[in-house]
Chain A
Amino acid sequence: MALYDDLKTAVIDMEVEKAVELTQKGLDEGKDAEDIMNSALVPAMDVVGEQYDKGEKYVPEMLLSAHAMKAAMGLLRPLLVESGVKMKGKVAIGTVEGDLHDIGQNLVGMMLEGAGFEVINLGAETPAEAFVESVKEKKPDIIGMSALLTTTMLHMPEVIDALKENGLREQVKVMIGGAPVTQEYADEIGADGYAPDAASATKLADRLVQ
């Protein structure tokens, strides 16, 4: 399918307008929204993730690819919802209290959307109680926390404590990431997983909703 190959290349090459144009073209030709997502967009982000792993791409480029993907998804999402296609799962993400560095977590959000998750972006400086509220109201499968500083990282266990206090810890998986965070830290605070970067975050989310 030449169209799918072109769309895939457009996303990998960070061409936002072209990605939107090709997606629209596919829909006009009568292609299925789910098929466009699974055959072109998701494989494109897989490639981007691999390129990032190998050091062939850097964060700004990955962001641009994700942006292209997100723009294309903008056309597909209403159709997906209409046809009742099941998303892989729901993830609520945010940077913890006192941490305004949200570039990384936004990237994770876009990658997750690209991989077929519904993402609730709680944004920067999300207090523990806001995580709890989102779990109560939106019932996500996973919450993702990010922190860029060793000082703000200390708020991660508070979010887990707040989930436990509210009896919600068993209902939701917790994944964490950010520069100072390690697997060791995830184990220590009782998180379900740690991802070092955006590409592995989607793999981790896949595993956690299995």
Chain B
Amino acid sequence: MQLGLGIDTGNTYTDSALVDLANGEILTAAKTPTTPHDLLHGILASIDRGMQGMDPDNVALVAVSTTLATNAIVEGRGSPVALILLGWLPERITTLPPCRLISVEGEFNARGEERRPLNEGQLRRGLQELPSEIEGIAVSGYFSVRNPGHERRTKEIAIGETGLPVVCGHELTCQLGIYERTVTATLNARITPLVTTFLTHVKAAMQERGIEAPLMVMRSDGSLVPEGYARTFPLQTILSGPAASAVGGNRLSGIQDGTIVDIGGTTTDIVSVEDGLPRLDGAGATVGGWKTRVHAVSAWVIGLGGDSHIQLQDHSNTPKFALRPQRVTPLAFGQLGVDFADSPNDPESVEWVHRIKAWAPSGLSANAKALWDLIPPDEGMGLHRLYEQARRHDIYLVERTFAELEARGAVQHIGFTPTDALHVLGQYREGAAEPAHTAAQLLGKRLGLSPRDFALRIVKKFQARLTDEILKKLVADELPGVDYDQNVLWEYLQGPNHLAIDINISLLHPLVGVGAPVNAFLPPVSSALNTRYTELEYGEVGNAVGAISGKIISRIKALVRQQSADRFVVFLPSKRIVLERTDDKRAMAHALHAAEDMARQEAKALGGENIRLKLQKQSYQLGIGEIRVIAIGQPRLASKAQTAVEVH
């Protein structure tokens, strides 16, 4: 028996699924809380729940997807790194991620010919002056995708001088755009230690449970890569979560074309599947406001999830509730004290705060530290009591200061969430029902609604937002760059009263739901969009199933350019081939052969077997040719030759 264990580490939950690799049958599915302060512990718990006592010797493959890298980038976290720029500087340095900059002469032109040689003396001097806290180096050179010579040489010298990990722009993408390549390489260097630590924890957990199988990681394009590759190029995994939703949704539903909606605790990810593969974003993933060149699934990520905070805004005569993008712990799962909801007129009395025990209060403002000190270390306290005491202790801007504690991960905030609304409606049964009912009664009363009507109102609002975002995502796929905030037609179409226009929107492909609360939220959304909804067995662990169902994929693009009557150049990732005394047919044939060869080699190096090649594009006209080849394989399993593969 050959088993595959898929693990998805999300912001809120870590999901696991055990699959019989011979027939694809899903044997177990489990959800455990993600423990950001103690990753190893959370992974062990997830493995144990997933394995359910099965023999670890039967596990032939472990595959993970994780939002760890994304979160770090969104929150601006990363290790101190140096960036070596060759032959180019941005107009303003502040447009780059934080780094220590070394500027060195040396550049190529669009044909990949050297315009200015690499100034190695300058490079060595810059490297020798690096402060000791630098943990990695990124290298980005002008037109390095037309000729990687300078980046390669720089890497060689930098490794020799410093011994630090070095990553080059051309290793991460073959697309033009020096700025985006520079951002990509720098972010990659910044998150390398973080992702390496995570993968070391996973390996340690596997070892502790006696699992000796290859570990693979889901890349942002929905394919699997070996652990070693993910350590070197961690940025390639930034959208591994949404990619896993796409692959899992496709695998569980069998739907070849459709929209997959993954409702998690913190975010909802909307992705499309086309012809059985995730739809990719042509330009590259944008994460945390950074435009990267990472080849990634085209994901629409919104700050709306089962654990989004529902807050009553009680400041005016007509109280309203808002779905904040911030995640809180649902009341159903929180540990609450005796004075929970003891002030019926105070909406903050249905919220509770705990200190995070593993968190050391460093780097806080004096105000925030004073607020933190007011929280009893063990039992926590009601938010209304905390605010009261804070005012008594002259802590100013209390709400903003509390937000600072939340953002720093210093406190656990428990409050009313869509998950609790489902509890009130009897559509969700895990955890404790009582606090959700109490809170719905208190909050509903402020709005003049029964608890049930209050819960219904929240679910409806959630669904309306989902419907809107699904449409936006599908339109954005076809019309990239549409600015909805300034789109008059969109506003109009969404408005309630159209005198002369009747609007019916029908999605051509079905909706598929992945994630725990999807079946409660999505059916009315698909009715509103006039499409079919497919309810999935094991949909709640769709990402973990996606991770273990990933294939090995290598995509190679070759460009052919005529440079004079009988001279052609073929540009491949990391390679430039000059062909003299030839013609267009021979140049294209050469390029095709080289691209196929490279795709097959790469798929093999990425741990694939049974590799199939597919020619996706082959065009030549007037001196310009392009070839796209894709190689798809199955991940090599443990029982076969288990050789470690290094990819560069």
Contacts of A157 in B (CB 8 A): 561, 623-624
**Stretch binding the partner chain, chosen from A10-18, A58-66, A162-170:** A162-170
Q: Is A189's beta carbon under 8 Å from chain B? A: yes
The answer to whether A165 and B623 have CB atoms under 8 Å apart is: no
A185 to chain B, nearest CB (A): 5
Contacts of A165 in B (CB 8 A): 110, 142-143, 176-178
The answer to whether A162 and B110 have CB atoms under 8 Å apart is: yes
The answer to whether B562 and A154 have CB atoms under 8 Å apart is: yes
Choose from A128, A129, A154, A167 the contact partner of B623 (Cβ within 8 Å).
A154
Choose from A129, A154, A162, A189 the contact partner of B564 (Cβ within 8 Å).
A154
Complex CA gap A164/B145 in Å reads 12
The answer to whether A151 and B622 have CB atoms under 8 Å apart is: no
A192 to chain B, nearest CB (A): 16
The answer to whether B622 and A184 have CB atoms under 8 Å apart is: yes
CB closest residue in chain A, given B622: A185
The answer to whether B109 and A128 have CB atoms under 8 Å apart is: yes
Enumerate A47-88 residues with CB–CB distance to B below 8 Å: none
A102 to chain B, nearest CB (A): 21
Q: Map CB proximity to A onto B177-197 as digits: 1 under 8 Å, 0 otherwise.
A: 111100000000000000000
Q: Is B621's beta carbon under 8 Å from chain A? A: yes
Enumerate B537-583 residues with CB–CB distance to A below 8 Å: 561-565
The answer to whether B563 and A154 have CB atoms under 8 Å apart is: yes
Assuming the contacts A184-B622, A189-B624, asked whether A128 and B110 have C-beta atoms less than 8 A apart, the reply is yes
Q: Is B153's beta carbon under 8 Å from chain A? A: no
Q: How many A-B residue pairs have CB under 8 A?
A: 46
Q: Is A125's beta carbon under 8 Å from chain B? A: no
The answer to whether A158 and B621 have CB atoms under 8 Å apart is: no
Contacts of A166 in B (CB 8 A): 178
The answer to whether B623 and A153 have CB atoms under 8 Å apart is: yes
Q: Is A188's beta carbon under 8 Å from chain B? A: yes
Interface residues on A, range: 10 to 19
Choose from B111, B143, B622 the contact partner of A188 (Cβ within 8 Å).
B622
Contacts of B564 in A (CB 8 A): 151, 154
Contacts of B622 in A (CB 8 A): 153, 184-185, 188
Contacts of B623 in A (CB 8 A): 153-154, 157
Q: Is A206's beta carbon under 8 Å from chain B? A: no
Contacts of A189 in B (CB 8 A): 624
The answer to whether B177 and A167 have CB atoms under 8 Å apart is: yes
Contacts of B180 in A (CB 8 A): 167
Contacts of A197 in B (CB 8 A): none
The answer to whether B179 and A188 have CB atoms under 8 Å apart is: no
Q: Is A161's beta carbon under 8 Å from chain B? A: yes
Contacts of A162 in B (CB 8 A): 109-110
Contacts of B561 in A (CB 8 A): 154, 157
B617 to chain A, nearest CB (A): 13
CB closest residue in chain B, given A167: B179
B241 to chain A, nearest CB (A): 28
B170 to chain A, nearest CB (A): 12
Q: Map CB proximity to B onto A164-190 as digits: 1 under 8 Å, 0 otherwise.
A: 111100000000000000001100110
Contacts of B179 in A (CB 8 A): 167
Complex CA gap A128/B563 in Å reads 14
15 intermolecular pairs with C-beta atoms under 8 Å apart: A129-B109, A151-B565, A153-B622, A154-B561, A154-B562, A154-B563, A154-B564, A157-B561, A162-B110, A164-B177, A165-B143, A165-B176, A165-B178, A167-B179, A167-B180
Please name 8 further chain A to chain B contacts, defined as beta carbons within 8 Å, in addition to the given A128-B109, A161-B176, A167-B179, sorted by A numbering: A128-B110, A154-B561, A154-B563, A154-B564, A157-B624, A158-B110, A158-B111, A161-B110
